[in-house]
Structure 1
Amino acid sequence: MNSKPNILLIYTGGTIGMIKDFETGSLRNFNFDELLNHIPELNLLDCHIETTSFEEPIDSSNMNPNYWVEIAIMIEENYDNFDGFVVLHGSDTMSYTSSALSFMLENLNKPVIFTGSQLPIGDLRTDAKENLITSIQIAALQENGLPVVREVGLYFEYKLYRANRTTKINAEHFEAFASLNYPPLIESGVHLTINYAALIRASVVKKLKVHKKLESHILLIKMFPGLDKETMEYLLDYPNLKGLILETYGSGNVTNRKWFIEAITNIIEKGIPVVNITQCSGGSVAMGYYETSIQLRNIGVISGKDCTTEAALAKLMYLLGKNVEANSFKTNFETQLRGEML
């Protein structure tokens, strides 16, 4: 007889882990060791649940790559003892963190499900309980003794998405996240509906490799009408710059003014990778489709294809941290590594 799956719940901070002090009305973090007292429904799940948390839970606005490494180490140290992981995280930067973890956890063959909530777990109308319960249920899903999900996912409001395909689109609604360029992996209704064709079918024999070096000296510049030469040159003069991401118009378009193209050319000639992603919520970069992107393609700008901003940033940090050679960097970035692009 198969034993129940073991699930590790990792609390990093965020609204989901807060309860209201009914005397003062203020929010405070609750002790996750007492989780079953707050959500007795978890006893009905067909799995064993253990909890761990950051020594000091943080607001996700304070999230940074050092914390990403901390989460990765928690998973690495517990990997052989658990069948799945659920990471509780503030929603504001959840897509950034979960995208980063998808690259940091190479050969992942177990579920790592990120979730959070818009309202605290102790609130009367909270979305926290459903998000947490279903995330744990998904992390425990197995078929023929193997986990159904073998990648980093993000679960919110009845849908499990590939984490590195998500972006937060709404600060007000329970349906806070979207994945406009890739379908949900699982939808929760009366039953869990699994989109098997959308899942990564990771090998279950390769050993997990955790990458802990990330390069954060990168710059993200969003194109806007009025961005001038002086501003651009000032930004690009940063001496420790290791990578640049341009959030461009539409399918990858920028101004074709001579000063702009020269500024980007100078960066590329220094061996600094420049990535082109669209600032549109959905769709893809297609450099050369319009005249205003032909020059970017010709000078060696990297196509971010249909990557989200969050995934592009994480991928750039990851590849720079691996010290990928400059002459092969473009090929590496434009190659799908974790299902983050088509």
Structure 2
Amino acid sequence: MKRKVLVIYTGGTIGMEKNYETGSLQAFDFENIFSKIPEMKLIECEVSVYPFKNPLDSSDMGPNEWKIIANHIGENYDHYDGFLILHGTDTMSYTASALSFMLKNLRKPVILTGSQLPIGDLRTDAKENLLTSLYYASLYENDEAVIQEVAIYFEYKLLRGNRTLKYSAEFFDAYRSPNYPVLGQSGVHLNIEKDFLHRPKSGAKFEVDDHVSQNVLFWRIFPGMHLEHIAEIPDMKVLILQVFGSGTIFSTEKTRKTLELLRKRGTEIVVVSQCISGGISFGKYSNSNIFREIGAISGHDITAESAITKAMHLLDNPKYKESFPELLVRDLCGEITEKFEI
């Protein structure tokens, strides 16, 4: 029996081709993808295509588009064995992270991929990314999906979506998962590291929860900045503060007063690291003690992309009974190491 995979095309470089008269890139009709990649017909799965009516550059992808994708998967969940989302590279990690929280108790593969070069380019990485992603999206053993989470496949590597970040704007190997192992690699064989795969709780039913709050602000500190300007921003319920190293910030009195003021107003402060790997450890250095004193939340080893989308999903979400701080540090779908130590 052939597995059925739904391809959702949102836009991005993978759906572009060069107009050789103008030299510019332009979108092509993605429903004609089989004419661009005839090899797709050789894969042992049935492929259906759902293209966005107006394909988007990934910089235009946001909460509304995350909801569209999540709900379309929900509506078609029982009709397909796997889902492949074709997406621009710049914000793919944000979308993958957001979907991992929206698609609760997922038991089927949701793979995101894209490319650095257009599909019609002679040196394109689009064909390999697309074809291998289809294999992973249709991979089953004993009538059970091997991948049961949201993942990104790019340049021979399968990565947990909510652990990824875009590492390079130039190289084909564009993504990294610095704080979690690779889920699989493609070579002569498709390898899967089964010990690292996420599994939902036994008996938990799949559902789509597309709640998103946009009262979340991300702020990266830098030497010499005036942090007190943050307190002037209205309607901010969560501040994700990206700090130095394992959790340090400048120890000025203005900094302390600003952070204390925000907490008195009820703003939740989530602390994440500017470092690509490793994470936050309050108390390791004295300049991190302020966060413990004011009741800030340690983001541990979560990525900035995942912290932002997780906070947006959790904030004021009526489906959760626990408090925001409790849920932020809890591992919901493989995005954070609960017992993190440096």
Candidates 218, 221, 246, aligned match of 1:220: 218
Contact 1:271 1:326 in 2 (8 A): no
State the aligned residue count.
337
Candidates 138, 151, 163, aligned match of 1:140: 138
Describe the shift of the 1:255–1:117 C-alpha distance in structure 2 as closer, same or farther (beyond 3 A).
same
How far off is 1:28 after superposition?
A: 1.6
Determine whether 1:313 maps to 2:323: no
Instruction: Give 2:115's aligned amino acid.
Output: S
How far off is 1:297 after superposition?
A: 1.0
Candidates 314, 336, 339, aligned match of 2:334: 339
Contact 1:114 1:155 in 2 (8 A): yes
Partner of 2:272: 277
Between the aligned partners of 1:35 and 1:311, the Cα distance in structure 2 is 31
Partner of 1:96: 94
Instruction: Give 2:325's aligned amino acid.
Output: K
SS at match of 1:80: coil
Contact 2:228 2:254 in 1 (8 A): no
Describe the shift of the 1:120–1:283 C-alpha distance in structure 2 as closer, same or farther (beyond 3 A).
same
Partner of 1:299: 294
Contact 2:31 2:51 in 1 (8 A): no
SS at match of 2:50: strand
1:178-225 CA-partner distances (Å, limit 9, x unpaired): 111111101011101110010012357532221122111221111110
Map residues 117-156 of structure 1 onto 2, 5 A cutoff.
117-156=115-154
Determine whether 1:11 maps to 2:9: yes
SS at match of 1:266: helix
- Indicate the larger mover: 296-305 or 18-27: 18-27
Instruction: Give 2:218's aligned amino acid.
Output: L
1:70-113 CA-partner distances (Å, limit 9, x unpaired): 11111111111001000000000000111011011111111100
SS at match of 1:81: coil
Task: Please give the root-mean-square deviation of Cα atoms over the aligned residues, in Å.
Answer: 1.5
Between the aligned partners of 2:134 and 2:205, the Cα distance in structure 1 is 24
How far off is 1:258 after superposition?
A: 1.9
Instruction: Give 1:101's aligned amino acid.
Output: L
Partner of 1:256: 251
TM-score by length of 1: 0.95
Between the aligned partners of 2:12 and 2:94, the Cα distance in structure 1 is 14
How far off is 1:135 after superposition?
A: 0.5
Determine whether 1:267 maps to 2:262: yes
Contact 1:10 1:88 in 2 (8 A): yes
Between the aligned partners of 1:324 and 1:4, the Cα distance in structure 2 is 37
Between the aligned partners of 1:263 and 1:46, the Cα distance in structure 2 is 59
Instruction: Give 2:217's aligned amino acid.
Output: L
1:98-133 CA-partner distances (Å, limit 9, x unpaired): 101101111111110000000000000000000000
Between the aligned partners of 2:229 and 2:84, the Cα distance in structure 1 is 42
Between the aligned partners of 1:119 and 1:292, the Cα distance in structure 2 is 44
Between the aligned partners of 1:39 and 1:205, the Cα distance in structure 2 is 39
Instruction: Give 1:322's aligned amino acid.
Output: N
TM-score by length of 2: 0.95
Instruction: Give 1:89's aligned amino acid.
Output: H
SS at match of 1:41: helix
Partner of 2:81: 83
Between the aligned partners of 1:131 and 1:282, the Cα distance in structure 2 is 25
Partner of 2:340: none
Structure 2 gaps, min length 5? 338-342
Between the aligned partners of 2:6 and 2:141, the Cα distance in structure 1 is 19
SS at match of 2:246: coil
Candidates 6, 29, 32, aligned match of 1:31: 29
Instruction: Give 1:328's aligned amino acid.
Output: S
Describe the shift of the 1:114–1:327 C-alpha distance in structure 2 as closer, same or farther (beyond 3 A).
closer
1:257-280 CA-partner distances (Å, limit 9, x unpaired): 222122112212222211000000
Candidates 40, 48, 51, aligned match of 2:49: 51
Determine whether 1:244 maps to 2:239: yes
Between the aligned partners of 2:81 and 2:115, the Cα distance in structure 1 is 24
Describe the shift of the 1:84–1:117 C-alpha distance in structure 2 as closer, same or farther (beyond 3 A).
same
Instruction: Give 1:79's aligned amino acid.
Output: Y
- Report percent identity of matched pairs: 48
